[in-house]
Chains A and B, each alone.
Chain A
Amino acid sequence: MTRFIGRYLRELVNPRYEVRAFIHQCYTIGYSSLALIGTTGFIMGLVLTMQLRPSLIAYGVVSQLPVMVSLAIVREIGPVISALIFAGKISSSIGAELGSMRVTEQIDAMEVSGTNPFKFLVVSRVLAATLMLPLLTILSDAIALYGSYLGVNIKGHTSLQLFFSDVFDALHYGDVMPALIKTFFFGAAVGLIGCYKGYNSSKGTAGVGLAANSAVVASSLAIFIIDLLAVQITDLLGLN
């Protein structure tokens, strides 16, 4: 795995970039996941708001609802939920796709056709995953906050302007930046693990299924480990 990452980084900077493949992957990995991740984000925002509301009423700080929800969503729930959904969708599909390409000799065929399959398949996918997940997370956060706004308005009433004013009052660069930065790592982990499992899958149809499955398991776990590291690092840097 370490060698795989090393090779990825080497091939990433080596010239002859597979721009077209990269753009295509951005589309399949990024754009195609938007609906799914947006929907989960919306529901998370709505549900979180409605769940928090009674507790906040109990403490008499229901006006702090936008603050709590925005911090929860932007700092943790948005990035992690998006990344997990992303891992489920992308890591498995990459694992299965590369696995089947390996099994049906498509990877060899690329090699024979004078195309570096690592660059064409792995680098483009990992890079696309690395760059698309943050974008998806940002949009998902925005949609989640809108969901939260609707959640606030189911029971009470707050204007959109006041809600977002509260939200942005609560947020600081120290909340947004670490959350944003860690999504890059989430994305890279999902892409790398999916590619690694697929690229090195064993021959046969069973190998493909195994590659897809273990890619999802490993990348979901990796997301939580990275999250744990990220919170330690932000804590050490005093960004809390």
Chain B
Amino acid sequence: MKKNTNNDIKLGIFISAGLLVLIISLYVIGSKQNFFGSNFYVRARFANAGGLVPGNNVLYSGIQAGTVSDIEIIDDTTIEVTLLLNKKIKPYIYSNSLVSIGNDGLMGNKIINITPNSTPASHIEDNGLLMTQSGSNMDQMMQTLSYTNENAMAITSELKETTTRINNDNTLWTILDDTMVAKDLIASVANLRASTARINEMTTTLDLILKDIHQGKGTIGTLLTDDDIANDIQQAVQDIDRVAVSAEVAIRTLDSTVQQLRTGMTTGGSMAHTVIGDTAAANSLKRSLQHIEKGTDRFSESMEALQHNFLLRRYFKRKARNEKGKE
């Protein structure tokens, strides 16, 4: 009988030990999966769940905060993920906290990261919807990485070239060092605009004169019946027109450049920074300046040509006189 009792005690210890191990294991596993204790649910919608499965961990700023409890397809572009979170972290989750899908190590399971947002917002409610960030899925990461590498290579070589050029180019440094350049540029543009206005005015006047001539008014009219002369004049007028157009283009380009320079200055970044950072801006500035140069050259050339034309010489002389008279 004594032996029996001993056996019973041993059996009892054996069974209790087994059950204890089982219960503790189940409890620990359960609490890791948040089956016990007070929890709450939040939802987040993704376009791509990226291999997420129920049971994956949810981290809040890197702390274990809960698990994925459900994944549901809402429509062809939306996957709704329900997260089971520990009540303890509820006060730290705001309705604008960002949810993203990440990896637990390079080969590990998928995890959900909840990151707090710096801007203030209201506390999340139970079953509330959180904002999502398209996370880094492994393939995308790899693709982006190789793309980034290529870019980095191109950038560094260009940067090297640019730096060399900048270093060797004194004028650019002068421009960059002198903020007055910008103001000068603006002034140039204003001037150019005025010139164009004058060209327009001139063309109209010229038109009028030509009409008169056409109708054979005065002695000039008779002279102008000659075809050669008429052609010459027509050529001249076309020239003037072209010049006006290219001047206009130049002005527009210059205008935008100046605008860019101005924003560069106002947003706090130094002008040098903007220009170096944006080779395109530098290029277009250069191009604009060339255009202006070319445009004005052509304009003065045309004017010269017109003045030399014997038929219009008188008109210009009178104009010069009038201007003198005004002064």
Contact = CB atoms under 8 A, between A and B. Distances in A.
B156 interface: no
B175 interface: no
A183 B199 CA distance: 101
Interface string A53-80: 0000000010010000000000000000
B166 interface: no
Contact of A172 (B10, B17, B33): B33
Interface in B226-278: none
A168 B32 contact: yes
A24 B8 CA distance: 8
B18 A136 contact: yes
Contacts of A64: 107
Contacts of B221: none
Looking at chain B's contact residues, the main secondary structure is helix
A139 B15 CA distance: 10
Contact of B14 (A31, A142, A169): A31
Interface residues of A, number: 23
A129 interface: no
Determine which residue in B26, B29, B33, B55 has the highest number of CB atoms from chain A within 10 A of its CB, and name it. B29
A138 B7 contact: no
B15 A169 contact: no
B29 A168 contact: yes
B11 A26 contact: yes
A31 B11 CA distance: 6
Interface string B75-115: 00000000000000000000000000000000100000000
Nearest to B26: A176
A23 B32 contact: no
B25 interface: yes
B32 to A, nearest CB: 6
A171 B22 CA distance: 13
B216 interface: no
Contacts of B10: 27, 31
A173 B33 contact: yes
B104 to A, nearest CB: 10
A21 interface: no
Contacts of B14: 30-31, 34, 135, 139
A135 B19 contact: yes
A64 B11 CA distance: 37
Contact of A27 (B7, B18, B19): B7
Interface in B19-65: 19, 21-22, 25-26, 28-30, 32-33, 35, 55
A30 B32 contact: no
B11 to A, nearest CB: 5
B269 to A, nearest CB: 44
Contacts of A139: 14, 17-18, 21
Contacts of A176: 25-26, 29
Interface of B: 7-8, 10-11, 14-15, 17-19, 21-22, 25-26, 28-30, 32-33, 35, 55, 107
Lowest 4 CB-CB distances: which A-B pairs, in order? A135-B18, A27-B11, A31-B14, A27-B7
11 contacts: A23-B8, A24-B7, A26-B11, A31-B7, A31-B10, A135-B15, A139-B17, A139-B21, A169-B32, A173-B30, A174-B55
Given A26-B15, A173-B29, 8 more contacts: A23-B11, A30-B11, A31-B11, A61-B107, A135-B18, A135-B19, A138-B18, A171-B29
Interface of A: 23-24, 26-27, 30-31, 34, 61, 64, 134-136, 138-139, 142, 168-169, 171-174, 176, 180
